[in-house]
A and B are shown apart, each in its own frame.
Chain A
Amino acid sequence: MTPENSEQRRNIRRTALLMTAIAVAFYLGFILMGVLRA
């Protein structure tokens, strides 16, 4: 694996995890909002 490849893989993993975290935050955040209002 070349250094460029490993750098690219690291970036891919980082972006994917960030997007997953955003999705999870929206999911839990809206449920939390419902809990706080109920």
Chain B
Amino acid sequence: MTSAVTDTHDNHDDHGPAKGLTRWLYTTNHKDIGTMYLIFSLIMFFVGGSMALVIRSELFSPGLQFVHPEFFNQMTTMHALVMVFGAVMPAFVGLANWMIPMMIGAPDMALPRMNNWSFWILPVAFGILISTLFMPGGAPASGWTMYPPLVLQTGDAFPFLIFSVHLMGLSSIMGAINIIVTILNMRAPDMWLLKMPMFVWTWLITAYLLIAVMPVLAGAVTMLLTDQFFGTSFFLAAGGGDPVMFQHIFWFFGHPEVYIMILPAFGVVSEIIPTFSRKPLFGHDSMVYAASAIAFLSFIVWAHHMFTVGMPLSGQLFFMFATMLIAVPTGVKIFNWVGTMWRGAMTFETPMLFSLAFVFLFTIGGFSGLMLAIAPADIQYHDTYFVVAHFHYVLVPGSIFALMAAAYYWLPKWTGHMYNEAAGKLHFWTSTIFVNLTFFPMHFLGLAGMPRRIPDYSTQFADFNWMASVGAIGFGLSQLIFVYVLLTAKKGAKATDRVWEMPRGLEWTVPSPAPYHTFDTPPKARVAQESFE
């Protein structure tokens, strides 16, 4: 009797989503939760972007223009926290929620109630974080790295910062557990691990990284909290503690975090380039091994962020060479994407344009990363705008362009309609021009010695700074085109089930828009795959 009741309950064919607000509050449907993640991350993208525009407006010309230096520091800190934890990471989790069950032939995520929790923790976390802007002493201003002892000078916002970071970590860990459990236990019966799409593979590896490093960040900020309020001296030199230990712990989290933000982007691009090259992905298995190698290496390179603290020569050499080694698996990936395009029947729809720009511009970010890996050179580059240029090339035309590519690629599957291609291409070209205008001059500023995180600067840096500020304003305005595309997404022509000419994967076997419940019965993954060949 019990089993009969359970079976009836598990069958959802007879109903669609609930009506009204409760649909979104209580939903356990992976598509609803994916949509909420994506909308939340877009809102956070604009919040973080507005903070970036405050920074760039202040830096438009030498001298103090609009904001107090203390508020400027709050903006650099909050911009980074919002963009990393509120925009990029949740956006990839949103894509994972939407696409992974459909790509592996599962009816939903393995732990749907936890999925609901892991999303709804996020708005609470960012509500708390953003509320610190209105507290006495203002928001945290010590940079997203939260180095002690500076971070311990934060005003009333300090415990709220620590609590919100804990909540963000909790949300990420719950999401990662769900993704691992889903991929390992709910694949279609004939979908072997090495047959999984690259997006699923990169997310599996990313989820393992999250499980390993988010608790480390939580541990570090817990120790900050006890140093501030409970009399411990983990990081306080006056009490016998070691502030540099915080840096080691933070970057043990922080460097894998970079790959948490870029590996799913690799997965997205590995889905899109084959579709628009009309060829299978070149070297699928080597891509899996390369992603795994990158993930492993990410755990043994953290101290390249802190060459200037003073460390033994042997330590500098180890971290320098280990960091350079990451270029090898990354090179494998770039080679395979180029190999996929080689002699392919390529077309250049918006998702492909963003993916091509990703490959080219991410490589520039990778090369400047190699320059920073060289310990003696890094001592010159450290804490300059060269570092700012490097990581923005990795994260903006890297992660964010991949997110844009993914949104355009899967939007017809989500909405059932083709988006406005002309607007999409305009969005691409304006974004690409302005992103380079914003971040490329920062290389020269850094090489000339302009420090990061300052509201004022010497007049010799004026020209490149106004260029970067004009680029930032242009890039920000360009994103309004994306909002227009989203708002008019349901006005385009009806999308077919396959949407594109030669996509591969189970998600293209379901109707467009994807029904509320898919794959209640596990599909034959290989049969579906062969029907596309």
Query: Which A residues form the contact surface with B (CB < 8 A)?
Result: 1-2, 8, 11-12, 15-16, 19-20, 22-24, 26-31, 34, 37-38
Q: Interface on chain A toward B: helix, strand, loop, or mixed SS?
A: helix
Given pairs A12-B186, A15-B180, A19-B177, 9 additional interface contacts (CB within 8 A): A1-B3, A19-B176, A19-B180, A19-B211, A22-B212, A27-B216, A27-B222, A34-B234, A34-B245
Judge whether A15 and B215 touch: CB under 8 Å: no
B121 CB to closest chain A CB (Å) equals 15
At the interface, yes or no: B218 with Cβ under 8 Å from chain A? yes
**Chain A hits for B110, CB < 8 A:** 12, 16
Judge whether A34 and B181 touch: CB under 8 Å: no
- Knowing A8-B186, A12-B111, A26-B212 are in contact, say whether A31-B177 is a contact too (CB < 8 A): no
Cα of A16 to Cα of B216 in the assembled complex, Å: 19
- Knowing A1-B6, A38-B241 are in contact, say whether A31-B219 is a contact too (CB < 8 A): yes
Judge whether B6 and A38 touch: CB under 8 Å: no
Judge whether A30 and B180 touch: CB under 8 Å: no
Residue contacts A-B, CB under 8 angstroms, 16 given: A1-B7, A12-B111, A15-B180, A16-B110, A16-B177, A19-B176, A19-B177, A19-B211, A23-B211, A26-B216, A27-B215, A27-B222, A28-B219, A30-B215, A30-B219, A31-B219
B24 CB to closest chain A CB (Å) equals 25
A3 CB to closest chain B CB (Å) equals 10
Judge whether A15 and B211 touch: CB under 8 Å: no
Cα of A12 to Cα of B229 in the assembled complex, Å: 40
**Chain B hits for A37, CB < 8 A:** 242, 245
Cα of A27 to Cα of B172 in the assembled complex, Å: 14
A35 CB to closest chain B CB (Å) equals 8
**Chain B hits for A8, CB < 8 A:** 185-186
B465 CB to closest chain A CB (Å) equals 39
Judge whether B181 and A15 touch: CB under 8 Å: yes
At the interface, yes or no: B220 with Cβ under 8 Å from chain A? yes
Judge whether B222 and A31 touch: CB under 8 Å: yes
**Chain A hits for B176, CB < 8 A:** 19
207-223 of chain B: CB within 8 A of chain A = 211-216, 218-220, 222-223
At the interface, yes or no: B300 with Cβ under 8 Å from chain A? no
**Chain B hits for A2, CB < 8 A:** 3
Cα of A2 to Cα of B110 in the assembled complex, Å: 17
- Of all chain B residues, the one with the shortest Cβ separation from A16 is B181
320-345 of chain B: CB within 8 A of chain A = none
**Chain A hits for B233, CB < 8 A:** 38
Cα of A23 to Cα of B215 in the assembled complex, Å: 6
Give 1 or 0 for each of B197-239: 1 = CB within 8 Å of chain A CB. Answer: 0000000000000011111101110110000000011100000
**Chain B hits for A22, CB < 8 A:** 211-212
Q: Interface on chain B toward A: helix, strand, loop, or mixed SS?
A: helix
Judge whether A19 and B214 touch: CB under 8 Å: no
B148 CB to closest chain A CB (Å) equals 12
B532 CB to closest chain A CB (Å) equals 28
**Chain B hits for A31, CB < 8 A:** 219, 222-223
At the interface, yes or no: B240 with Cβ under 8 Å from chain A? yes
A9 CB to closest chain B CB (Å) equals 9
**Chain B hits for A29, CB < 8 A:** 219
* Nearest 4 interchain pairs by C-beta: A27-B215, A30-B219, A26-B215, A1-B3
B181 CB to closest chain A CB (Å) equals 5
At the interface, yes or no: B487 with Cβ under 8 Å from chain A? no
Cα of A23 to Cα of B234 in the assembled complex, Å: 21
Query: Within the complex, which residue of A11, A12, A24, A34 is in contact with B215, where a contact is CB–CB below 8 Å?
Result: A24
A21 CB to closest chain B CB (Å) equals 10
Judge whether B6 and A26 touch: CB under 8 Å: no
Query: Within the complex, which residue of A11, A24, A34 is in contact with B185, where a contact is CB–CB below 8 Å?
Result: A11
Judge whether B181 and A12 touch: CB under 8 Å: yes
Query: Within the complex, which residue of B3, B185, B219 is in contact with A27, where a contact is CB–CB below 8 Å?
Result: B219
**Chain A hits for B18, CB < 8 A:** none
B456 CB to closest chain A CB (Å) equals 37
B185 CB to closest chain A CB (Å) equals 5
**Chain B hits for A27, CB < 8 A:** 215-216, 218-219, 222
- Of all chain A residues, the one with the shortest Cβ separation from B173 is A23
- Knowing A15-B180, A19-B211, A38-B233 are in contact, say whether A30-B242 is a contact too (CB < 8 A): no
Cα of A2 to Cα of B181 in the assembled complex, Å: 20
**Chain A hits for B249, CB < 8 A:** 30, 34
- Of all chain B residues, the one with the shortest Cβ separation from A32 is B219
Cα of A28 to Cα of B220 in the assembled complex, Å: 10
Judge whether B214 and A16 touch: CB under 8 Å: no
- Knowing A1-B3, A30-B216, A30-B219 are in contact, say whether A38-B180 is a contact too (CB < 8 A): no
B533 CB to closest chain A CB (Å) equals 30
- Knowing A1-B3, A1-B6, A26-B212 are in contact, say whether A16-B111 is a contact too (CB < 8 A): yes
Judge whether B232 and A19 touch: CB under 8 Å: no
At the interface, yes or no: B21 with Cβ under 8 Å from chain A? no
229-263 of chain B: CB within 8 A of chain A = 232-234, 240-242, 245, 249, 252
